[in-house]
Amino acid sequence: MGDIGNPLTSEQLTALRDRVDVLLALTGGHATIALDDLDTAIRAIQPRVVIPMHYYHSRGVLNILPVDAFTARYPVKQVIRTETPHYSLSVADLPASSQIVVLEQAR
C-alpha cells in the first residue's frame, strides 16, 4: 500500500479488486489510512492474505496504533500470528478465504 494516508478511490479499488493475493497493509492509523477506510479497502480488494505493517512497536518513535487495534476488528480464527519475522507463501498455499498474518517483530 505504500505510505498512503487517505482512503482509496473507487477507481483504485476497482483496479485492485481480485488482483491482489497478498496485501501489505498500513495498520497504525493516524498518519496513514484510517482503519475504517482500510477495512473498506480490504473488503473491496479481497486479498487472500493481509500482512499488517507500520504499527506501534515499543522501539518505534511514532505515535501510531498497535497491531491489535487492527486485528481486533476481525474474527480471531481469521488472524494468524507467526513465531518468527519470516513467512513463506506460495501460490499453492494461498488460503481460500482472507487471512491476516501478523509477523513476529524482528529483534
The domain locations on the chain are 10-102
Domain 10-102 fold is Metallo-beta-lactamase; Chain A (3.60.15)
Give burial (CB, 10 Å; 0-12/13-18/19+) of 13.
middle
> pTM of the full predicted structure?
0.92
Q: Cβ distance 2 to 32 under 8 Å?
A: no
pLDDT tier at 17 (50, 70, 90 boundaries)? Answer: very high
Q: Cβ distance 73 to 96 under 8 Å?
A: no
pLDDT, position 58:
83
